[in-house]
């Protein structure tokens, strides 16, 4: 038992510390690919998420974060990517179990505010969606898909990824899969948040 507690303590020391990507601990998310694109856990977010949402309202990290932080979803498009639309639709239906863990849901894509508004209205998606039309946030996180040529409808889109970010702006965990058709289910994401909460409690209790 003492060994197990020590393991948890050491794991969470990495989990909550400011460390380089190379030093960051492994993810709690399962079924990821070995190849990773974009910034990883253990560092401060490289962008304050300032931008315009689907309602054309100004947003930033401070206005978006929940009690424990943000669950940040980068998607290819909420307009033309049917796999992304399917995933976002599932979040629309069950996202409350993620918010119950103290994390606000935020989506980033390079769609226009008008396209995001149409998606929100059609699928009753009530969570903030940042219209990153110039891909500034996407580039800052190292997620821009460079395989698309300028001038094409896909140019500027992101490699899909999910980040768990605490309320101080530190990346706690990340999900990435080279196959953009694969996403963790909402229940699986909640399980990850629960493990994070348990680890934090171990550190807080000092036991």
CATH number for 103 = 3.40.30.10
| Percentage of the chain exceeding pLDDT 90 | 69
pLDDT at 171: 96
Strands 161-166 and 51-52 turn out to be unpaired
Integer Cα distance of 185 and 179 in angstroms: 15
Asked whether residue 11 is domain-assigned, the answer is: no
In this structure, is the dihedral angle defined by the CA atoms of residues 53, 56, 58 and 62, taken in order, positive or negative? negative
pLDDT at 30: 86
Q: What's the domain count of the chain?
A: 1
pLDDT at 199: 79
Asked whether residue 164 is domain-assigned, the answer is: yes
Q: Is the pLDDT of residue 141 over 50?
A: yes
Asked whether residue 69 is domain-assigned, the answer is: yes
Q: What is the pTM of this model?
A: 0.85
pLDDT at 152: 87
Asked whether residue 151 is domain-assigned, the answer is: yes
Structural contact between residues 165 and 70, judged by C-beta atoms closer than 8 angstroms: yes
Asked whether residue 204 is domain-assigned, the answer is: no
Asked whether residue 201 is domain-assigned, the answer is: no
Asked whether residue 105 is domain-assigned, the answer is: yes
pLDDT digits (tens, 9 = 90+) for 50-87: 999 999 999 999 999 999 999 999 999 999 999 999 99
3-state SS, residue 22: helix
pLDDT at 45: 98
pLDDT at 201: 77
Comparing CA positions, the residue from 11, 136, 132 lying closest to residue 78 is 132
| Percentage of the chain exceeding pLDDT 70 | 86
Asked whether residue 183 is domain-assigned, the answer is: yes
Give all strands (DSSP E) within 48-207, no chain letters.
51-52, 58-59, 69-74, 103-109, 129-131, 161-166, 171-176
Comparing CA positions, the residue from 123, 128, 130, 129 lying closest to residue 93 is 123
Token readout for 117 is 């508004």
Q: Is the pLDDT of residue 110 over 90?
A: yes
Q: Is the pLDDT of residue 18 over 90?
A: no
Range of the domain at 56: 19-189
């Amino acid at each position: 038992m003492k060994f197990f507690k020590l393991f948890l303590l050491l794991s969470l020391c990495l989990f909550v510390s400011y460390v380089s990507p190379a030093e960051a601990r492994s993810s709690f998310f399962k079924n990821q690919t070995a190849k990773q694109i974009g910034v990883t856990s253990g560092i401060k977010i490289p962008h304050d998420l300032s931008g315009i949402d689907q309602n054309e309202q100004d947003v930033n990290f401070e206005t978006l974060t929940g009690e424990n932080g943000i669950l940040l979803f980068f998607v290819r498009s909420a307009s033309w990517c049917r796999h992304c639309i399917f995933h976002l639709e599932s979040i629309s239906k069950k996202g409350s179990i993620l918010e119950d863990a103290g994390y606000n849901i935020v989506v980033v894509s390079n769609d226009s505010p008008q396209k995001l508004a149409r998606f929100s209205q059609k699928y009753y998606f009530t969570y903030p969606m940042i219209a990153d039309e110039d891909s500034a946030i996407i580039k800052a996180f190292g997620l821009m898909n460079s395989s698309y040529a300028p001038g094409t409808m896909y140019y500027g889109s992101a490699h899909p990824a999910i980040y768990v970010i605490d309320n101080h702006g530190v990346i706690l965990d990340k999900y990435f899969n080279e196959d953009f058709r694969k996403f963790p289910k909402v229940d699986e994401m909640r399980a990850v948040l629960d493990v994070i909460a348990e680890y934090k409690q171990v550190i807080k209790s000092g036991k």
